[in-house]
């Protein structure tokens, strides 16, 4: 997926990443810089975390006698190898909780339970536990092997629980105006859609139309589920006329927010139309806008907590550069923790 850099280039990548982060913080304020970094980090985290449940399900189907798309499965396993990178790059987030989150700066808790649950030490401890559990799951499922139903159910169930925890702690708690029970499932679905789309782009072209059609259907199903969850959440908020939640959506509206919504609806509709007459490269054609859609969506969730409006700015672009530089720098260390499978072995 990415070639490991030599030691001098690793140092250069770290230096460049830290320099761009410092530039962003000094020019636009540290809270704005770190909020953008959080959104960029979520894009990175989505690749391994979103790939994990898909790998588990595909392996279980193969063990039950199905015929999986070995090229796509190998590409998803390569994304699992990014889990240590995401864990390491999450350290700056945990180190700046007091800068990012209102509850860490002494804001009043909405409930007594929230006053206990949302404390810097407790949130940091849960985040470390979640990232450690994800790392263990990534190592466990990175190598091809037969899976029984019990291990598959436990793996997907554990992923759903810890994923909901990290979404609630690190994303939804940024802006207290939205109290949604769908937030965790919505973001986990978006992550899987992003990971599958990236894997479709990484995987070699399918040898025949059945594999290409299966990839397209998987992309369309995930995108349709994601769009449905967004619609249900918006419908509940708007029809119930919940003032705080409506303000949450207003902060993410404007021309940029409406443009993102139109893009999301257009991608879902395009996917549905493409399934009528699938072609060999149709899945790759659909994968590009899905990757862009879900990547921008992470900024849509995060950055309006400070700006009270949505729009991509210089801090967002710099955060993506910072994340890319630091990812390239720590890849060799990450490869020791979750090694990428050999191509021939993964395709076996």
Classify residue 66: in a domain, yes or no. Answer: yes
- The answer to whether residue 206 is domain-embedded is yes
Q: Residue 31 in contact with residue 306, Cβ under 8 Å?
A: yes
Question: What's the CA angle centered on 66, arms 218 and 155, to 5 degrees?
Answer: 70
In this structure, is residue 2 part of a structural domain? Answer: no
Region 50-54: mean pLDDT is 96
Q: Is 64 helix (H, G, I), strand (E, B) or coil?
A: coil
Range of the domain at 325: 7-346
What pTM did the predictor assign?
A: 0.92
Tell me the CA distances in angstroms from 17 to 3, 94, 298, 334, one per residue in order. 18, 18, 20, 17
Angle between helices 70-80 and 120-141 (to 10 degrees): 140
Calpha distance 139→198 (Å, rounded):
20
User: Does some domain include residue 282?
Assistant: yes
The answer, yes or no, to whether residue 348 has pLDDT greater than 50, is no
The answer to whether residue 295 sits within a structural domain is yes
- The pLDDT value recorded for residue 345 is 43
How confident is residue 117, by pLDDT bands cut at 50, 70 and 90?
confident
Percent of the chain residues past pLDDT 70, beyond the cut: 89
Residue 256 included in any domain? yes
pLDDT on residue 1: 54
* Any domain includes 1: no
Tokens of 137: 């799951």
Residue 151 pLDDT level (bands cut at 50, 70, 90): confident
Question: For residue 333, which phi and psi values (nearest 5 degrees)?
Answer: -65, -40
- C-alpha–C-alpha distance, residues 113 and 274, integer Å: 47
**How many whole angstroms separate alpha carbon 191 and alpha carbon 160?**
12
Q: Is the dihedral of CA 339, 343, 347, 348 positive or negative?
A: negative
Going by pLDDT thresholds of 50, 70 and 90, the confidence category of residue 206 is low
Residue with more model confidence, 333 or 256? 256
- Structural domains of the chain, count: 1
What's the length of the chain?
348
Please give the distance of CA 336 from its chain centroid, rounded to a whole number: 22
Q: Which of 117, 123, 119, 99 is nearest to 38 (CA)?
A: 99
Task: Output the pLDDT for position 219.
Answer: 94
Q: What is the pLDDT of residue 346?
A: 39
The average confidence (pLDDT) of the chain is 87
Are 192 and 261 spatial neighbours (Cβ–Cβ below 8 Å)? no
Q: Which of 70-74, 108-112, 186-190 has the lowest mean pLDDT?
A: 108-112
pLDDT band at 282 (very low <50, low <70, confident <90, very high): confident
- pLDDT above 60 (res 343): no
Three-state DSSP string of 275-289? CCCCCCCHHHHHHHH
Residue 41 lies in a domain: yes
């Amino acid at each position: 997926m990415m070639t490991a850099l030599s030691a001098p280039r690793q140092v250069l990548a770290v230096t460049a990443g830290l320099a761009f982060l410092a530039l962003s913080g000094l020019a636009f304020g540290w809270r704005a810089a770190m909020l953008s970094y959080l959104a960029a980090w979520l894009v990175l985290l989505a690749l391994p975390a979103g790939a994990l449940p898909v790998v588990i399900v595909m392996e279980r189907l193969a063990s039950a006698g199905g015929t999986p798309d070995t090229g796509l499965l190998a590409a998803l396993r390569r994304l699992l190898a990014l889990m240590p990178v995401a864990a390491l790059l999450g350290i700056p987030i945990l180190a700046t909780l007091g800068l990012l989150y209102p509850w860490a700066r002494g804001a009043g808790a909405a409930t007594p339970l929230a006053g206990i649950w949302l404390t810097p030490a407790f949130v940091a401890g849960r985040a470390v536990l979640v990232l450690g559990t994800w790392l263990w799951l990534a190592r466990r499922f990175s190598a091809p092997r037969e899976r029984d139903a019990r291990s598959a159910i436990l793996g997907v169930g554990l992923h759903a629980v810890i994923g909901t925890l990290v979404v609630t702690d690190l994303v939804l708690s940024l802006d207290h105006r939205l109290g949604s029970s769908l937030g965790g499932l919505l973001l986990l679905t978006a992550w899987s859609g992003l990971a599958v789309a990236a894997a479709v782009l990484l995987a070699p072209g399918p040898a025949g139309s059945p594999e290409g059609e299966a990839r397209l259907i998987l992309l369309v199903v995930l995108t349709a589920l994601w769009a449905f969850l967004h619609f249900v959440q918006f419908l509940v908020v708007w029809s119930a006329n919940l003032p705080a939640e409506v303000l949450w959506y207003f902060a993410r509206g404007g021309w940029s927010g409406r443009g993102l919504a139109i893009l999301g609806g257009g991608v879902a509709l395009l996917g549905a139309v493409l399934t009528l007459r699938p072609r060999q490269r149709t899945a790759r054609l659909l994968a590009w806008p899905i990757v862009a859609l879900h990547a921008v969506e992470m900024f849509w969730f995060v950055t309006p907590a400070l700006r009270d409006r949505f729009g991509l700015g210089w801090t967002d672009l710099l955060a993506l550069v910072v994340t890319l530089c630091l990812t390239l720098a720590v890849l060799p260390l990450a490869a020791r923790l979750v090694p990428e499978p050999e191509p021939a072995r993964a395709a076996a």
